[in-house]
Each structure stands twice: as structure tokens, then as C-alpha cells.
Structure 1
Amino acid sequence: MNADRRTLLKTIGGSSALAAFAGCVGVDDGEDDDDEPGADADGGVASMWIDMQEAEEADFSDDVSQFGSETDHVIEVEEPGGELDEQLDTAIPAGDGPDGWIWAHDWIGRFAVREEPRFLYDASDDVDIDLDAYTAPAQEAIQFDGGLYGLPFASETVTLFYNEDMVDEPPETFDEMISVMDDFHNPEEGEYGLSYPVTDPYFVSGFLQAYGGDIFDEANLEVGLDADEVKQGLGRLEELFDYVPADPGYESQIVAFADGLAPFAINGPWEIGNLSDEIENLGVAELPTVDGNHPRNYTGIQTIYFSAMLEDSGQDAVDALTEFAEWYTTSEDVITHNADRHSYIPVLADVVEGNDLSPEVQAFAEQVDNGVPMPTHPDMDNVWDPLEEALTRVFNGDQGGDEALDQAAEEIRDSL
């Protein structure tokens, strides 16, 4: 998942509200004075960078304050602005980076292999909790080449939204979905069968991998785009191209569903709150099976990263950040509140197995079970753009699907 996509998603649902942290969480203003948060702390002081929507920031502020009241530690939180990975690329080499940050797990491999300067801190000897507290995909996501570089607190993927005023029951199969879309699709009248950013690799990964192929085989470090199974998946995906608005961009697509102009949308949990405000009877379900196969879409694991800046910050800062991460990611109260209020998909095993999630979040949790974590290996960075360009060519009718995937696979291999 690239930073541009996630930044766009966050602008859809709300603006930043860093001011919400002032007075209750340490926000570094760059001034060195005795009034800074943590100046008189008895425990450790650690800094964190975040990039959240306004409501998420407010609740995270409350959680950080609660942790501080229960311990001697202080967590200073800042939203640096701009693209988070670009800010880290600049700040960490200069020695000005944070002790930790929050982002999806797919940066772990890219950052873990950097040596001069190092970007991540291996907290294997500092974290006291049993990783079995998390679901298996979450455990896998936070580790790379034997190192533990963060702790997970939520997952995300895409699945099917449907308007219950237009559709009585969600389709269980791909062909049933096509049949329903046929009843509603009338582009001359501004009506469509589906809202779906069909040229975004993250969003369409499930259908591409539905027949067992892998976009990128991380275990063997092989590009799989030109495999017959992936080509078969693209062939089915192309059937959906005919049912979406002419502009495949995110905003054009989501607006069609939000305005009641399409019975279905395929999108992520970050849109549950927004769409619930627009659609009175909103339904969420697993993606329909394709020839009996569950779409194997990419999943992201939201992670509290441990930064290499901890090496210089000292053991007190290590203790502060790792203990906060342990508390935040294993507190059932925090996890269930975030699931209820922000539609975070839990990865804490006891909560996932408790069957107390809302129907919407439960549907996403079930789709996560069908998916695969985004590869963390740095070579995956070379996959996103060529695949998106290939999908765009196919969508625009400039190239056939098989040819486009062959070209993308060759481009990626040449870049590795």
C-alpha cells in the first residue's frame, strides 16, 4: 500500500486536528523549556508521529493520557504533516525522527533492511507479551528476518458495501453480483452497477489472486503477475470494468455509491462512518466468491512501529514506547472501543474470537480471514506502479489483460 493512497483516504473522512492534543498529550513545538510535557517525568519519555483522522486523533489522545496516568511514562505525540514516509526519510538521517510512529505494516521490510542509517529498532528483547495474543497474520506482519519491529492493533482490507434499499441480500457469488448490477446500470442516466477504484492494485488484489496466484510471491521473491492464475483473475475483474463510472479515481467512485447511484461499492472500513451518514440502510458483506474461490485481497496491519531513534533516546524511552504499545494493543477496552467508534478491525485474538463486533466490522473481519497480508519485502515497492499502469491500460482499452500483465511483470523484474 502506498502513502498516496492512504493519505487520500484520510482526507476523505476528516481533516487533521493536531490542536486536539495540546494540553493533554505532549506535542513537540521545538522549544526547549521546562514546561515541555515530560520535562519532570519520573519514567521514560518517548515521541510518536501519527497521521489520523480528527476523531481518531481525539480518542488516541485520550488513550495516551490514560496510559500516562497509570504509569510514570510520557508519550509525546506529533503529526508532522506531509507524507509520513517522506518526513521519516528526512528526519531519521538527521537525528530528528520520532521514537515510534503508526502506519500499516508494509513499510517494515523496506525500513528493516536499511543500515546506514538504521530506521527500525528490534524490540525482541524488550517486549514482554506473548505474540500469540494477536492473530496469526498480525504476528507475521510485524516481524521481518527474525526481528520484531512493532506491535499490531488493527487490520484493514476492502470488502463489499451494499445499499439495502436497492438490494435485499448481498450476493454470495460473482455471477449473482453481475446479475444485480445489470438491473441498475444505466450510465446515460448517471446510474451504475458498482463503485470501485478498479485501477488501484490494493483494491483489486482479491480478484487478481482469487484463483490462487500471487501478485508477488514473498516466500520465493518471485513476481507472479504473468501467471495463468492471475491472468484468469484479471479476466473476471475486467467484467466489473463495465459497471463503474468512467473515471476510476477514488473520489469519483465513492461519490457514486454515497449518492445512491449504485447498489454496490467495494471499499475499506475507513468509509463505514462516512457512508453510514449518507446511506440510511448500509450493508456490509464478504466479497462474493469467484467460481467457488474467495477473493484473496491484500490486508494491512496497523502497527505501532519502533524507530531506530530509540537507540539514542535510551532505555527509559524504550520502556515507555514498548510498554505503551503493549498496553494499547492488548487492552480489550481500547480495541473494542476503536472497533465500535472507528471501525478498526481487531487483531487481538480474544476480541476477534469473542463475536461481539458490529455486523459491519464482523464482515470485514471475515474478509480479512480470506485475505493475505501485504508483502513486507522491499521488492514489493517495485510492484505497485507497474501494476497500476497495467490496470489503467486495460481499463482504457489500450491493451489486453494478458499482454498488460506480461509487460508489467517484465518491467518489475527489470527493476529488481
Structure 2
Amino acid sequence: MKINKTLSMIAALTLMAGSLAACGGNNNGNNTASPEASGSEPAATESPSASASAPASGEAGSDELAPEEGASLVVWETKEMIPRMEAIGKEFTAQYGIPVKVEEVSEADQINKLINDGPAGIGPDIVIYPHDNLGKAVAAGLILPNDFFEEETKAENSEASIAAFTFDGVLYGYPRSVETYAMFYNKDLVQTPAKSYDEILEFAKTFNDTQNGKYTFLFEQNFYYQYSFLATPGGYVYGNGGVDKNDIGLNNEAAITGAKMYQKLKEIIPMKTADATFDVKKGLFLSGKLAYDVNGPWAIAEYKKSGVNFGIAPLPSIDGKPNVSFSGVKGFSVSAFSQYPNASKLFVRFATSKDQQLKDFQELGTLPSNKEAAADPTVTADPLLVGILEQFANSTPMPAIPEMGNVWTPAQSAMADIWDNNKDPKEALDNAVKQIQDANSATQ
């Protein structure tokens, strides 16, 4: 498949994410139920003013939205992205004269943290998070709509990314990147990447040497990654495209089949779920002791710099069925508690422009949501994207309804029971679904 054609797969998520336009979500790996809204949403003052600075050449912006006098901004950002965000902040300050402070908060935790920090007056002006947090954020009144730059944002970004940050017909986010995970492989250890888990198990017979820290295949043991085992044979979280909370498919017959394959992999990965971390597998992969590493575009830049000879392929199939991974969209929103909503909107517009998304890709390997950036030769010339985007075409968006918050912990606990304690997959998944159903009923 040609790379420039493969890049069009970003648009394919539109079909899978269409149902997101009417719903919201939770976090990637955290599981608190949507709280009651706290605090009132302040009105943004969007009075046109000729005093607003014009954007630099090539940067998006508007000379009609005047930042508040004396504005200074706080942005929450995940650890790996902080240097890049600080660079964006310096550019923005040079352009608009508005100071920007970047504070470390993981993307998965930002909405949960904003619930308390926002009303207390110690929260940020801008949050950056995966789209499955949107429903919780809107239900709790934590974020402002993307109103002033709505038309520009919709025109410039893929339909999928716009749908992902839309709740009940209202656009709340400013998309930054799209992503899923795939199978990184060490080309010095693997001639042709495996196409199925059966091939992985066969290869392990001659490659594995876990006594000496040598592994065939590793993935992070959290439900974001574990989900692919249940989904590939035909399991799902919520029915009707992820919006029917009363239809849970995590314990159907297909999901149980996938859980059995998941459990079987412990034969070649004698490691507790708590020990299968990002840093552990990164260290093994970069030292040549791991043949296959399930990872995402966020790892590409660092792996390139390390000098390891690697490629990226789609995840292994199960019973001949293409692997179905979770996919997501990450983006910005302006906090409803910000004292400087105009300045914040100017910043997120600046930070998500084509030029900034291209810099994100060049420095961090993130896949742009901006359509022109995604089609830029700088992006299309990278052969490593083929595997990511082929997997992306088979992915399914994380459900974005608030009830997704009730899924993460029970589902991950069930998978840990299956792996760590050799629990019967059906029993473990039945128990998880019961917990999810009870939590959904309690929040109605």
C-alpha cells in the first residue's frame, strides 16, 4: 500500500467515529463515574478589537478576538510532551505577549483533576486529553465550547477528529492528533513480522529466553491494550457504535474466545500484569532483548533517536480476523474556570495550527488531525507510518459516553485475574460486566 494512499486512512475513522458526535467519554485507564456539575460556566467575552496581535505567517489565529488585559495562561501537559509544549508557549508569548506556564499532569488524569482544581481556583486555563474524557467534562461543566474558532477548526481537521470532540451537537475541543497502537518489531531479530498470534507463539519457541530477560512479545497490561484481544473476535464495550450503555459485549462468546488467546500468551510472557510497564518493555526493545513491542506513534521519535533498527506492522490476527485496537483523538479544551477565556482560545488555536501539528509530528511522531498537515510530504515520506495507519483502519474509537468511566477498572481487573490468577475467562468477564452494569445503574 502506498504511503500517500495509506494516509487517507485517517479519514476512514470518520465512519467509525460518526456516533461520537452525540456523546462524550471518560479517561484512558481511570474509572471514576461522571460527577455532578460543579460551579457555573463563565461567559466568554469575545469583543472584536483591532488591538489583538495578528498571527505570524503560517500560524492560525484571529485579529478579532482580543485577549484579556494582563492575561497569563497555565497549560496542563503530559510528561513526554512538556518540552514541546514549552516551545509552543514561547512562540505564543513572543507573538502575543501572553506568558504561558506548563504544568505536568498526565492526559488520562486531567479531567478528573480539573473536577476539584477548577472550582478551587487552582486549575489550568487549558487541558489536553483523549476524546473519551469529553462526556465527563461536559457533564460536569468543566470546559467551554469551541465557538469563536469553530468553523476554522471544522474545516481544517478530519471529520473523525471533529466528531470525537463534539458532544450533543456542540464542538468543545481543538483536535491535535489521532492515534492507535500497532506492533513495533526489531528488524535485526525478525525478518518478516508475524501476522497472527499463532505465529508469535511459534517464533517464541526458538527466541524466548525469559531467564535472561529475552522476550518475544510484550504489551502494556492495561485495558487500552488488553481490549484488542476481546474486540478482535467480536467483543465490544457498548453496542450501537459505543453509545448503548445497556448493551455490553465484553463477555459475549467472541470476547471469551479472545480472552483465552490473551491468557495463552502468558506461556511466553511469565510476567505479572503490574510489571509489564512502558519503561520495562522500552528498555528491553532498545537493548535488543525484545522482538515485538506493542506501542504507538508517541514512541517513534525516541526509538528513531536510539538507533534501533525497527519497523511497524499491524497487530497479530486472532483466528484469521484482523486485530481491532482502540483508537483515539487527542486535543485541547479551554477550562470553564479560566479567568482568561479569550487568551486561552487564542492559544489553543495557535497550538493546533498546521505548522504546530507538523512540528509535533517531526519531534514526537504524533499523527496530525489537521488534514493539510497529514498530507504534507514531511509526513507521507515516513515509511514507519504505514503499519500504524493500517492498524488505524482496523481500529474502533474508544466509546465516548460518560458511562465509559465505569468500564476501565472492572475490565482491567478481570483481565489481570485471567492473567495473574489463571481465572476462567468467562467467570472473570461476567463479573466485570456485572460491576459495570451496577455502576451504570447507580449513576442514572
Alignment TM-score > 0.5, same fold: yes
Q: Could you tell me how far 1:410 is from its partner in structure 2?
A: 1.0
CA distance in 1, matches of 2:214, 2:120: 52
Which residue of 2 is the match for residue 164 of structure 1? 187
1:413 matched to 2:427? The reply is no
CA distance in 2, matches of 1:367, 1:156: 10
1:301 matched to 2:301? The reply is no
Which residue of 2 is the match for residue 129 of structure 1? 152
Pick from 245, 250, 264: which aligns with 1:239?
264
Which residue of 2 is the match for residue 97 of structure 1? 123
CA distance in 1, matches of 2:430, 2:194: 32
After the TM superposition, which segments of 4 or more aligned residues of structure 1 sit over 6 Å from their partners?
A: none
- Spell out, residue by residue over 1:75-103, the C-alpha distance to the aligned partner (whole angstroms, 9 max, x if none): 63330668544542222122343222112
Query: In the superposition, relative to structure 1, how do residues 67 and 76 fare at CA in structure 2: closer, same or farther (>3 Å)?
Result: closer
Backbone CA RMSD of aligned residues: 2.8
Where does structure 2 lack aligned partners over 5 or more consecutive residues?
1-25, 31-64
Which residue of 2 is the match for residue 207 of structure 1? 229
| Larger relative contact order (Cα-Cα within 8 Å, sequence gap ≥ 6) | 2
* Residue type at the aligned position of 1:291: D
Which residue of 1 is the match for residue 309 of structure 2? 281
CA distance in 2, matches of 1:130, 1:380: 26
Query: In the superposition, relative to structure 1, how do residues 175 and 302 fare at CA in structure 2: closer, same or farther (>3 Å)?
Result: same
Q: Which moved more, 1:181-190 or 1:374-383?
A: 181-190
- Spell out, residue by residue over 1:363-406, the C-alpha distance to the aligned partner (whole angstroms, 9 max, x if none): 32332232122222221111111111111111124411122111
Pick from 133, 136, 142: which aligns with 1:110?
136
Query: In the superposition, relative to structure 1, how do residues 61 and 262 fare at CA in structure 2: closer, same or farther (>3 Å)?
Result: closer
TM-score, normalization by structure 2: 0.75
CA distance in 2, matches of 1:80, 1:87: 12
Which residue of 2 is the match for residue 66 of structure 1? 91
1:51 matched to 2:77? The reply is yes
* Residue type at the aligned position of 2:91: Q
- Spell out, residue by residue over 1:44-87, the C-alpha distance to the aligned partner (whole angstroms, 9 max, x if none): 43623222336x333323323334444x4636333066854454
Which residue of 1 is the match for residue 359 of structure 2? 337
Which residue of 2 is the match for residue 19 of structure 1? none
Which residue of 2 is the match for residue 184 of structure 1? 207
1:77 matched to 2:101? The reply is yes
- Is the 1:127–1:323 contact (alpha carbons within 8 Å) kept by the matching residues of 2? no
Q: Which moved more, 1:81-90 or 1:59-68?
A: 81-90
* Residue type at the aligned position of 1:263: A
- Is the 1:181–1:263 contact (alpha carbons within 8 Å) kept by the matching residues of 2? no
- Spell out, residue by residue over 1:120-150, the C-alpha distance to the aligned partner (whole angstroms, 9 max, x if none): 1122455231514322331221111222211
Which residue of 2 is the match for residue 373 of structure 1? 397
Q: Which moved more, 1:360-369 or 1:162-171?
A: 360-369
- Spell out, residue by residue over 1:281-317, the C-alpha distance to the aligned partner (whole angstroms, 9 max, x if none): 122222133334322211232211121124xx3xxx4
Q: Could you tell me how far 1:43 is from its partner in structure 2?
A: 3.4
Pick from 300, 320, 332: which aligns with 1:272?
300
TM-score, normalization by structure 1: 0.79
SS of equivalent residue, structure 1 residue 364: helix
Q: Which moved more, 1:272-281 or 1:334-343?
A: 272-281
SS of equivalent residue, structure 1 residue 407: helix
SS of equivalent residue, structure 1 residue 123: coil
Q: Which moved more, 1:74-83 or 1:338-347?
A: 74-83
CA distance in 2, matches of 1:309, 1:365: 37
CA distance in 2, matches of 1:320, 1:208: 44
Where do residues 9-48 of structure 1 align in structure 2 (5 Å cutoff)?
43-44=67-68, 45=71, 47-48=73-74
Q: Could you tell me how far 1:164 is from its partner in structure 2?
A: 0.8
